[in-house]
Amino acid sequence: MAEQTLPTNTWPANGVPSDLIAPGRKRLGFALMAAATLGLLAVIALQTLYKTEVTTLGFETWRPVVYAYLLWGVALGVGQVLTRGEDGQRALFLLPALLFTIAMVIFPTLFGFYIALTDWNLSSFSGRKFNGLDNFWQMLADPYYRNALFNMVLYVLAVFVEYVIAFGLALLLNAQIRARKFFRVVFLMPLMLSPVAVSWMIGKSLMEYRFGPASTLARTLGWDNPAFFSNPITARISIMVLDAWTFIPFMMIMLLAGLQAMSREVLEAARVDGATPWQTFWQVTFPLMLPVSVTAVILRIIFKLKLADIIITVTSGGPGGATDSVSSFIYREYRDRSNVGYGTMLAMAYLIIIVVFVTWLLKFATRFVRNVN
């Protein structure tokens, strides 16, 4: 993405430049930020003492700490403007999103790593106890978790089939056709529908064993026993189909935008040179579309790694955990067994795996695009 940032000094200065700020105002700003920080720390300390039953003074829940954090954020923003003038005003653009994300991601993730090292089960009364790496060793020996990870590999590989279909549809929509807008809206429709509703509409109703239209069709086509979700392999394929139905439009729209941005002259030149449509596609269109394709596939893989809703609602992982994704497995670990500690360990391990995987994928994709072009 093109960088358009400007060095700060090229801006005409209308606000107060930082060196012209009155020392009194500066002092006020620093005092405000210091007071807010002390206040926040004091509230946290007070609440910690109360919860550990050292003092009797405190609040019922930790919510006042959230309010204190909000106030601290406001004071920090005001302080920035007071002490740094226009630079502070610039920082104000970024501060809300930054403070929000840090509070919502960094702290819970760190807390998650702590929970992962405890044997916390909500249904047992003993509360949480630190148990070191026990969860980790249990995870390594867990065949169901390994199976879920293996399923994720299969589900991610299915993205390439989706990509081929999406590319085909994008080519169709890019051809000289009438009612293009109508077809575009219709093709986009599945993406708008909630995966849970889709699970019911297709997974539980259309694919119903006895009288679902999909089963009837399968019987007519010669499949005697169209049980879509009872055999591990067909169940996995059915889940992939359901997920593909919802998400193919996403890739299709990106690829269509790529096709429409392609210059007509190049295609025209290929035709003048006597290339067949088949040659034109492989020699011209496909290579030119490679950067868009890579973006679409990577985004789709990232979404695929979160796959859970459809599996939870259609098969709940069955038969025998055959269709489980990592997310749906952890969901049941919590829902059915209240196993917060172990579930969190699984989630954290998954996080590390996918961060490594996606980083590698991005590196690999950059090199791949550069080598081909």
Partner 1 sequence: MSVQTTDYTASEIRSPVSFVANRVFIYGALVFWAFICLFPIYWTITTSFKTAVDVTQGHLIPFVDFQPDWKGWRSLGLSPDSLFQTSTVREEFLKRFMNSVITSVGASSLAIIIGSLAAYGLTRYRYHFAWFKNEDISFFFLSQLILPPVVLALPFLVLYREVGLLDTRVGLILLYTLMVLPIVIWIMRDQFNSIPVELEEAALVDGLTIWGAFFRIVMPIALPGMVAAFILAMVLCWNEYFFAALLTSTDAKTIPVMVASQTGSQGINWWSMAALATAAITPLAVIGIALERYLIMGMTAGAVK
Which residues ranging from 15 to 34 are in contact with partner 1 (CB under 8 A)?
15
**73 vs 212: CA distance, rounded Å:** 55
- Is residue 285 a contact point for partner 1 (CB under 8 A)? no
H helical segments located in the chain: 23-51, 63-84, 86-101, 107-116, 134-140, 143-174, 180-192, 195-198, 213-220, 232-261, 264-272, 277-280, 286-304, 309-314, 326-337, 340-372
Q: Per-residue contact track with partner 1, 240 to 279, x per CB under 8 A?
A: -----x----x--xx--xx--x---------x--------
Please report, as residue ranges, which positions from 326 to 345 form the binding site for partner 1 (by CB under 8 A). 326-327, 330-331, 334-335, 340, 343-344
- Is residue 209 a contact point for partner 1 (CB under 8 A)? no
- Exposure of 286 in the CB half-sphere (CA atoms within 13 A): 12
- Is residue 153 a contact point for partner 1 (CB under 8 A)? no
Among 187, 228, 229, 247, binds partner 1 (CB under 8 A): 187
Pick from 222, 223, 226, 196: which is nearest to 209 by CA?
226
Of 32-40, 82-90, 154-162, 232-240, which segment contacts partner 1 by CB under 8 A? Answer: 82-90
Please report, as residue ranges, which positions from 112 to 131 form the binding site for partner 1 (by CB under 8 A). 112, 115
Among 28, 156, 358, 369, binds partner 1 (CB under 8 A): 358
The amino acid that residue 102 corresponds to is: I
Sequence-distant (≥ 6) Cβ neighbours of residue 369 within 8 angstroms: 290, 291, 294
Among 28, 49, 74, 91, binds partner 1 (CB under 8 A): 91
- Is residue 101 a contact point for partner 1 (CB under 8 A)? yes
- Is residue 312 a contact point for partner 1 (CB under 8 A)? yes
Size of the site for partner 1 (CB under 8 A): 111
- Is residue 221 a contact point for partner 1 (CB under 8 A)? no
What the block records as the tokens of 158 is: 């299915």
Apex 366 CA angle, 364 and 368, nearest 5: 65
